[in-house]
Amino acid sequence: MEKKLEDIVWEKVQLARHNKRPTARTLINYLFSEFTELHGDRLYADDRSILAGIAFLEATPVTVIAQEKGVSTKEKIEHNFGMPHPEGYRKALRLMKQAEKFKRPIILIIDTPGAYPGVGAEERGQASAIAVNLAEMAGLRVPMLAIVLGEGGSGGALAIGVADETWMFENAIYAILSPEGFASILYKDVFLAKYAASVMKLTADDLHSFGIVDLIVPEVEGGLHLNAEYSFSFLKERLIEKVAELKAADMDELLAKRYLKFRKMGAYEEKSR
């Protein structure tokens, strides 16, 4: 019996959120060597939901900025389930500026349900931190590549997602908000999340067809957690090639293309409303 679209998309949502799906730390350990984590936003605190530092991709020094969910219950709480506070986004921007100064390519790993919506986060300027990142990343004079590993939720994902290329794992999702949030707002019923997911166009295939995603990283049937090395090795090989290509590109042309890419995304969003 052929599966309905609704069921196919919902399976991808579940795989993107799977408890055994590898987190950013696992991916970092596979892709890079000599990763040195850096901490703090120099204003308030160190947000552990943002894992960031300096590493080597083969012989190329890079800055890595990732959203980390944690694996065990203790780690998940420590990393706030991958939901950054404003200080996390400010830490990310601090390291992006450092990368620009030293001309290091930036690799961004997205995996978050969304920015943390708590009162404290709002009091410390959550919306402002996200907005500043969007504006600053659009003009950073350094190559940037974003990878959607699991969930890419809302502005919480896009705040580290403005890049020259966006890659996405086959069973990852990337959208303006969660299916549950979408269903609650549009249909006034959170239990319609499965249906909402099917109309949100949040899969890698959907976003690749729109030109938002540049490359889909394949996964084995059943999800990334069943054979991560298959997907990670594919990703590493292409990442090495693409970083070399972006480093060799003219920076003014790269910035112009980055600007047009996100103007196109904005135009598509307006058209789809």
Q: What's the CATH code of the domain at 193?
A: 3.90.226.10
Question: What is the DSSP annotation of 63-110?
Answer: EEEEE---SSHHHHHHTGGG---HHHHHHHHHHHHHHHHTT--EEEEE
- pLDDT confidence of 7, banded at 50, 70, 90? confident
Q: Which residue has the higher pLDDT, 260 or 232?
A: 232
- pLDDT confidence of 116, banded at 50, 70, 90? very high
The pTM of this model reads 0.93
- CA angle, 84 as apex, 215 and 27 as ends, to 5°? 40
Is the model's pLDDT at 219 over the cut of 60?
A: yes
Overall average pLDDT of the 196-209 stretch: 94
Is the model's pLDDT at 270 over the cut of 80?
A: no
Instruction: Share the mean pLDDT of the chain.
Output: 93
pLDDT per position as a tens digit, 166-186: 999 999 999 988 999 999 999
Overall average pLDDT of the 132-159 stretch: 95
How many domains would you assign to the chain?
Answer: 1
Structural domain boundaries, residue 187: 5-272
Amino acid in the structure at residue 17: R
- pLDDT confidence of 2, banded at 50, 70, 90? low
Q: How high is the pLDDT of residue 162?
A: 95
Alpha carbons within 13 angstroms on the beta-carbon side of residue 232 total: 19
Residues of 172-211 as b/e, b for ≥16 C-beta within 10 angstroms? bbbbbbbbbbbbbeeeeeeebbbbbbbebbbbbebbbeee
pLDDT per position as a tens digit, 17-29: 999 999 999 999 9
pLDDT per position as a tens digit, 71-84: 999 999 999 999 99
Q: How high is the pLDDT of residue 138?
A: 95
- CA nearest 273: which of 188, 190, 201? 201
pLDDT per position as a tens digit, 123-142: 999 999 999 999 999 999 99
Percent of the chain residues topping a pLDDT of 90: 89
Q: What is the spatial distance between Cα 239 and Cα 30, in angstroms, rounded to a whole number?
A: 12
